[in-house]
Structure 1
Amino acid sequence: MRSLGINDDNEIRRFTDPQYWISYFPTHVKHDLEMMGLK
């Protein structure tokens, strides 16, 4: 998780819940795709 830029230990602990993954990554993926020019 640290290699992804997540350095907060409390935040990392939240990833033990699979539902947290589902809520966390779509927003970040969308942002990354927009930064690449996709809409």
Structure 2
Amino acid sequence: MSKLTIPQEEIMSSGHLACQGCAGALAMRYMLKVFGKKTM
């Protein structure tokens, strides 16, 4: 099994309207980290 490495850089800003533990916001945050800055 290979080890996953998630970049430390945050792409999602802190001004979103979701609550801190919202599953949708967490999923979007990790997706943006994996897909990178050029994600629309």
Give the TM interval when normalised to the shorter protein. 0.3 to 0.5
Task: Give the structure with the higher percent helix.
Answer: 1
Q: TM-score, normalised by structure 2?
A: 0.34
TM-score with structure 1 setting the length: 0.35
